[in-house]
């Protein structure tokens, strides 16, 4: 009898130990977002995918009638012609767009925003103005032959395959995307020493969200790389005529420790101008810069975590949804919710939305509201590493 009781006690302890172990395993494997009160992930989706194309670098807006636009860069999948890989520069990369009425069902055939006659375009960044005009910022690479490159004005910025940087440009639509303007070009940032392939000083450029401030100015963060190194500095430009002309305001961030680029801008309810900066040579630290005087001066610091590039969206209660790609294993998409003035970035919990990426080549998030308590985070993604097709994806979340 005593032996049977001892066996039963042992079996009970083993059973309870198994239950405890299983509970701990379930808790540790639960997605981080599931542990944040008031935040629920609804679904992941494919917004646009075509195995013939490398689709990437999206942006998104919601039109006054509720229609959603997602713009992206699309280039041929050159592996279909025997290339070993695709590149982020391509002579046939065009700016494309798809639409949706509900954020879940998208037009299957994309519309052309711009096929620049002088080369391949990158990173269409949409900005809807208060008068419902839509600006699209992009930048351009021109592909030249060796004998043509020999005659270029120096210094210039070159990439693989004979790609020479042309800098930034804009197009705009005032009729709901039925037609887009011809490209028009911003100023060169003061102190820029680089020349475009066309011969003039390199026009300003950026990947990231522009901001229409309450005073009507359009604010734009633009990087400039030093001509003797690879370190870049981010400057603030402003436009008072809906993006046609620009003037220099200030330096947003510069450092001997970090190189800054791909910056999104946001104006807080108190009127601070906040810049969310991607870095290089700084352990992929996400950084923030703040101006309390309308953009005349900024102070920057690390936010204490890795992730890039960053984009944000104001929520109805004035909090800020911050989203970004995570380009370290496990690769994926992450988010945080900041306070209204974007000050609690160091303590705001990080929520993992996806960790199933096939490699680091993903991200470039852009959040938009869907109505009610639903939000769509747009990005590009891959699930099969270098061999996988890059496509435009989205995640729908609910925030109480």
pLDDT tens digits, one per residue of 253-270: 999 889 999 999 999 999
Q: Where are the domains of the chain?
A: 1-30, 31-399
pLDDT tens digits, one per residue of 166-213: 999 999 999 999 999 999 999 999 989 999 999 999 999 999 999 999
Quote the pLDDT of residue 35. Answer: 61
CATH 2.120.10.10 fits 31-399, yes or no: yes
Split at pLDDT 50, 70, 90, the class of 102 is very high
Quote the pLDDT of residue 19. Answer: 35
Q: Which is more confident, 23 or 171? A: 171
Quote the pLDDT of residue 299. Answer: 98
Quote the pLDDT of residue 226. Answer: 78
Q: Say if residues 167 and 140 touch (Cβ distance below 8 Å).
A: yes
Quote the pLDDT of residue 228. Answer: 62
User: In the predicted model, is pLDDT for residue 11 greater than 60?
Assistant: no
pLDDT tens digits, one per residue of 107-135: 999 999 999 999 999 999 999 999 999 99
């Amino acid at each position: 009898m005593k032996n049977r009781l001892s066996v039963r006690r042992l079996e009970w302890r083993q059973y309870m130990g198994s239950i405890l172990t299983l509970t701990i395993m379930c808790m540790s494997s639960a997605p981080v977002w599931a542990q944040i009160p008031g935040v629920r992930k609804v679904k992941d989706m494919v917004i646009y995918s075509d195995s013939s194309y490398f689709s990437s670098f999206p942006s998104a807006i919601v039109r006054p009638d509720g229609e959603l636009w997602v713009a992206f860069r699309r280039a041929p999948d050159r592996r279909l012609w025997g290339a070993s890989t695709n590149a982020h520069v391509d002579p046939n990369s065009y700016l494309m767009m798809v639409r949706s009425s509900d954020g879940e069902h998208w037009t299957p055939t994309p519309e052309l925003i711009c096929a620049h006659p002088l080369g391949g375009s990158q990173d269409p960044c949409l900005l809807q103005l208060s008068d419902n005009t839509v600006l699209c910022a992009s930048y351009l690479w021109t592909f030249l032959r060796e004998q043509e490159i020999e005659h270029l004005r120096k210094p210039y910025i070159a990439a693989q395959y004979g790609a020479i940087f042309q800098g930034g440009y804009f197009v705009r639509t005032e009729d709901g995307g039925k037609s887009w303007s011809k490209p028009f070009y911003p100023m060169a940032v003061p102190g820029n020493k680089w020349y475009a392939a066309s011969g003039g000083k390199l026009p300003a450029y950026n990947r990231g969200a522009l901001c229409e401030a309450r005073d009507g100015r359009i604010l734009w963060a633009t990087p400039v790389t030093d001509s003797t190194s690879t370190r870049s500095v981010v400057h603030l430009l402003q436009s008072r005529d809906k993006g046609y002309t620009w003037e220099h305001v200030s330096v947003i961030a510069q450092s001997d420790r970090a190189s800054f680029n791909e910056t999104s801008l946001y104006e807080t309810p108190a009127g601070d101008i906040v810049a969310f900066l991607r870095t290089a040579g700084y352990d992929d630290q996400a950084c923030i810069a703040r101006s309390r005087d309308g953009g005349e001066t900024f102070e920057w610091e690390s936010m204490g975590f890795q992730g890039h590039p960053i984009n944000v969206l104001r929520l109805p209660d004035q909090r800020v949804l911050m989203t970004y790609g995570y380009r370290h294993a496990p690769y994926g998409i992450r988010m945080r919710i900041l306070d209204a003035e974007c000050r609690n970035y160091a303590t705001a919990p990080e929520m993992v939305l996806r960790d199933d990426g096939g490699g680091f080549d993903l991200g470039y998030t852009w959040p938009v509201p869907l109505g009610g308590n639903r939000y769509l985070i747009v990005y590009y993604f891959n699930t099969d590493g270098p061999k996988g097709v890059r496509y435009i994806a989205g995640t729908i979340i609910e925030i109480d």
